[in-house]
Structure 1
């Protein structure tokens, strides 16, 4: 886990939209969840490819840069790519190990990113504040009150876009010996089911995955892509 100085090196000079990680690396969320993801990242020097996700690149091409929330930023490839493209980036991550790598990646690229060390539902994000909320293959735990789904929607500003991408077919898998049970997680269809007349669905489809070479998850061949615009 990074210390307070390192975690804030890449924060833009203007007052941030959300609080940056505080000194001593304060984390908002379930400590067990953080520990689980820290262990996964610590097992490898680099877990992901280091390149932006293909569905994000494709869907952002038609959008004017604005304020973006990168949910589950991992080692920071999407956040850095967005910042290079002129986006004002806030990146959220549960794992302190991943977040430290992301901070270093942004520093090396010399781009400003605001970092939040928190679970999505514990992040106290400013409501309706982001022109784009991007969640690429997020591991969001399902709850009876649909807290994660509602947090994604609540963060999008009027006129803004929610982009949720996941691996096709995982939602129908049977529980396995590793402890993975798809019923525990949020899938795009669950978010789509909450959309009302305040939203317009622009994309809701399964498509072949444009996958960065290397990194975990490279074996998945198809994506579920949900892109919805908040009208008001």
Structure 2
């Protein structure tokens, strides 16, 4: 899906396309870290970026949809949290190497070659001691979970993500269950790839 298609999707509703709450795995991975500079790649409407900024992080949020970025900018203004918003395609976007204490990639689904480019940029953007968090729909979700893209070529596996993180220390790499509420008050599980890695200090 290109940026114009995402623009149309975001513009089709006055409500948020995604939840206003941060992703649970992002909260788990980041909650114990000392706030510093953070880069949110493919930030969408900014749910994770806004949560980070509200917890003291200096956040740069990047997405290729101008509509999503504008919505995120408005939400940040309403909440009174500072976020730097950039409209850019994360496949081509080149953050300054060694500039961030945290890099986040949340639910970015791309063909393998394009994802590898983003992972490489994210890896290089980390400062020594910095943390990279990658969360997305797992390939196992096709048969064992609910929701998400149905194209296996853009779904994640922990192994594929880890393969793109040479030189980082892997703290967590697994397929995790995420409860998704159903209309009857119950829930069903989605299956997500969750990878947390750090750049060694020395």
The question of 1:70 aligning with 2:40 is answered yes
Q: How far is the alpha carbon of 1:189 from its aligned partner?
A: 2.7
Q: Which aligned pairs between 1:137-176 and structure 2 lie closer than 5 A?
A: 137-143=107-113, 146-169=116-139
Contact preservation (8 Å) 1:149, 1:190: no
| Equivalent position of 1:17 in the other structure | none
1:221–1:184 CA distance, 2 compared to 1 (3 A): closer
Q: Which residue of 2 aligns with 1:14?
A: none
TM-score between the two structures when normalised by the length of structure 1: 0.73
Aligned position for 1:111? 81
Paired residue for 1:132?
102
Matched residue SS, 2:7? helix
Choose 92-101 or 123-132, whichever is displaced more: 123-132
TM-score, normalised to structure 2's length? 0.83
8 Å CA contact 2:141–2:190 kept in 1: the answer is no
- Deviation for aligned residue 1:211: 5.8
Structure number having the greater strand percentage: 2
Name segments (4+ residues, structure 1) moved above 4 Å: 170-173, 184-188, 210-214
Q: What is the CA-CA distance between 1:184 and the residue it aligns to?
A: 4.3
Check if 1:37 corresponds to 2:37. no
Q: Decide whether aligned partners of structure 1 residues 117 and 49 sit closer, same or farther in structure 2, where only a CA change above 3 A counts.
A: same
Would you say the 8 A contact 1:207–1:223 is kept in 2? yes
Paired residues of 1:55 and 1:210 also in contact (CA < 8 A):
no
- Correspondence 1:1-232 to 2 at 5 A: 33-45=2-14, 46-143=16-113, 146-169=116-139, 181-184=151-154, 187-196=157-166, 198-209=167-178, 221-231=190-200, 232=202
Q: Which has the higher contact order (CA 8 A, sep 6+)?
A: 1
SS at match of 1:209: strand
Residue aligned with 2:132, SS: strand
SS in 1 for 2:135: strand
Q: Hey, what's the Cα distance between the residues in 2 that align with 1:158 and 1:126?
A: 14
Q: Quote how far apart the aligned CAs of 1:69 are.
A: 0.5
Structure 2 stretches lacking a partner, 5+ long: 144-148
**Offset of residue 208 of structure 1:** 2.2
Q: State how many pairs are aligned.
A: 192
Deviation at 1:142, TM superposition (A): 3.1
Displacement of 1:181 in angstroms is: 2.8
- SS of alignment partner, residue 39 of structure 2: strand
Q: 1:171 to 1:192 in 2, by over 3 A?
A: farther
